[in-house]
Structure 1
Amino acid sequence: MTVKSLSVFDEYDNDFLYCEAIIKKHSKNFHTAFSQLPKAVKEEDPDEAIWRALTLSFQQFDLQFQPFFDLLVGQKQDLDFQQPTSEKELSDYSYYVAGSVGLMLLPILSQAAAAIQEPAIKLGEAMQRTNILRDIGEDLRMGRIYLPQTVLAQFNLSREALASGNQNQQFIEMWEHEAQLAETLYQESFVMMPQIDEDCREALLAAALIYREILTVIRKNNYQVFAEKTAVPKQRKIQLLFTAKKMLRQERWEG
């Protein structure tokens, strides 16, 4: 991680603390992992504090505008929600709401950002697909289904069957089909780790491992995704932080 001037972050300390509080409240998994970043990296990004922090981040890192615009496209898609018809549509949506975030962060995490955009996008998509598989029940209560129409048809699942909250064999097979796609994306994203700046690798890898663990917890809970939102236990998050350290020491990217 290289910044133009480390000291300027101290001048905006309260702004970044405010941003960190938002992340801690709304994304506990990200906060657990990215709190391991060095100070000038973890203190980043709607009020004036957020805009000041974002402005400074653009001044200190080689951030690109396009991913920020792409995220706005994703937010518009959420406002005008339409169930994806195909895996391709779900992948496109996942890029706009999550892969774009990976590209936002990449210049902060790596001096080789231009060379590893594809795996960064894959990590964002993997995390978004994990969100979708975790939040099926919550999304249904809001009248939304993010699972593609073609996939539901492939496993003979109607909207009504899904809304019934029945974790039958058809549902489990459909869920596993989607989970395996997400897990493949996680694994393919790990190829970028050697090109992530050394002082950022552990935090990024831990974030990926903790998020991927949501899928494992859902399996242990017998695919219960219709009631309370699944969470990775705190003790398990700590274990995964140590797993990330071990993988980095051994330069092993399959965990």
Structure 2
Amino acid sequence: MTKLMPKFEQHRTDFAYCQTITKRSSSAFYTAFSQLPLERAWSIYAVYAFCRTADDLVDVDHDIDGLMALRQSLTTFANGHVPDHPMWRALAVVFETYDMNLDVFFDMLTGQEQDATFKQPQTQQALEDYCYYVAGSVGLMILPMLATNPQPLVKPAVELGSAMQLTNILRDVGEDYQRGRIYLPSKLLAHYQLNPTDLHGPIPSANFIRLWEHEAQIAMNKYEAALTMMPQIDPVARPSLLAATLLYRELLLIAREQHYPILSQRVFLTDERKTQVLNQVSTKVHELALKEA
């Protein structure tokens, strides 16, 4: 049995609470990061629990007051007082252990506040700014658990989070439309001669497919930029980060293979497809190790 650092052992129940949230809410994320050494994995679960709490307050509970209360709790935490809750107690251990940046936690809440008062972005830059706040910030939150020297990796970590958020948007076009949200920029829709009602589906038009592929290429470029940081990621963390990257990226390939069903349903990875991706991860990790030998 792996021996934990004492402060993690003392808060085992608090971290278990965060782990349950992560496992229940994101199978791809959990599949990837559950392979880390326990302290690193548990720390990422605590960060994820914070992000999921904020996200659910907006998307599930529609509770703007609750989101403001979460921001106040974060301010309390920033001032050195740990709220009496499993998530906060776990995060306190994380902040004691790793060189964490509180600013990016506030940034993520800013992104959630943008969702709570949603307005369709007009430009690609506005969309990418939003992607930073809700997901690029998350890349920066977990970076200290992945790299001993995280500072040089800030840009690719943001690119990875943003790529994942663009993937979410491209996966959920139809679902978001039904909820009254269009994340694809209005100027981009106009460029491809699309109206908002063209997102109603269920069959995507040729122009929609061209728009989708335009955004998918931007996401793929961001994934490629993110992969450049892999040699500077701690070797023990590389398999998990590669798995998270490739599992998410695979969703774009699946959507294309299935002829873009995203206006009427989500695409997802079957267990067989996950296994194929994880086999790719093992190969890439081995290749990287050989290069460094």
TM-score range, shorter chain: over 0.9
In the aligned structure 1, how far is the partner of 2:9 from the partner of 2:154? 30
* Alignment of structure 1 residues 109-120 onto 2, 5 Å: 109-120=146-157
Q: How many residues align?
A: 248
* 2:30 alignment partner in structure 1: 31
* 2:232 alignment partner in structure 1: 195
Matching of residue 160 in structure 1 with residue 159 in structure 2: no
Secondary structure in 2 matching 1:251: helix
* 2:8 alignment partner in structure 1: 9
Q: Percent identity?
A: 44
Secondary structure in 1 matching 2:265: coil
In the aligned structure 2, how far is the partner of 1:199 from the partner of 1:240? 19
* 1:80 alignment partner in structure 2: 117
Larger RCO, structure (CA 8 Å, separation 6 or more): 1
Q: What amino acid is aligned across from residue 172 of structure 2 in structure 1? A: D
Tell me, yes or no, if the aligned pair for 2:174 and 2:201 is still in contact at 8 Å. Answer: no
Query: Which one of 166, 169, 178 corresponds to residue 206 of structure 2?
Result: 169
Query: Which one of 136, 140, 143 corresponds to residue 106 of structure 1?
Result: 143
**What is the Cα deviation at residue 251 of structure 1?**
2.1
Structure 1: tracts of 5 or more residues without a match: none
**What is the Cα deviation at residue 206 of structure 1?**
0.5
In the aligned structure 1, how far is the partner of 2:281 from the partner of 2:196? 39
**What is the Cα deviation at residue 153 of structure 1?**
0.9
**What is the Cα deviation at residue 132 of structure 1?**
0.1
**What is the Cα deviation at residue 84 of structure 1?**
0.6
In the aligned structure 2, how far is the partner of 1:247 from the partner of 1:31? 20
Q: What amino acid is aligned across from residue 215 of structure 2 in structure 1? A: E
Tell me, yes or no, if the aligned pair for 2:107 and 2:137 is still in contact at 8 Å. Answer: yes
After alignment, is 226-235 or 177-186 more displaced? 226-235
Matching of residue 90 in structure 1 with residue 89 in structure 2: no
* 1:237 alignment partner in structure 2: 274
**What is the Cα deviation at residue 7 of structure 1?**
2.7
Tell me, yes or no, if the aligned pair for 2:110 and 2:133 is still in contact at 8 Å. Answer: yes
Secondary structure in 1 matching 2:183: coil
Q: What amino acid is aligned across from residue 37 of structure 2 in structure 1? A: P
After alignment, is 173-182 or 10-19 more displaced? 10-19
* 1:20 alignment partner in structure 2: 19
Could you give the per-residue CA deviations for residues 146-172 of structure 1, whole angstroms, max 9, x where no partner exists? 001111111101011222433121111
In the aligned structure 1, how far is the partner of 2:95 from the partner of 2:233? 19
Could you give the per-residue CA deviations for residues 161-196 of structure 1, whole angstroms, max 9, x where no partner exists? 222433121111111111011001000110111111
Could you give the per-residue CA deviations for residues 227-249 of structure 1, whole angstroms, max 9, x where no partner exists? 23211111211221221121121
In the aligned structure 1, how far is the partner of 2:263 from the partner of 2:228? 34
* 1:67 alignment partner in structure 2: 104
In the aligned structure 2, how far is the partner of 1:15 from the partner of 1:185? 34
**What is the Cα deviation at residue 111 of structure 1?**
1.1
Matching of residue 223 in structure 1 with residue 260 in structure 2: yes
Query: Which one of 181, 185, 195 corresponds to residue 222 of structure 2?
Result: 185
In the aligned structure 2, how far is the partner of 1:20 from the partner of 1:214? 24
In the aligned structure 2, how far is the partner of 1:248 from the partner of 1:134? 28
In the aligned structure 2, how far is the partner of 1:51 from the partner of 1:100? 18
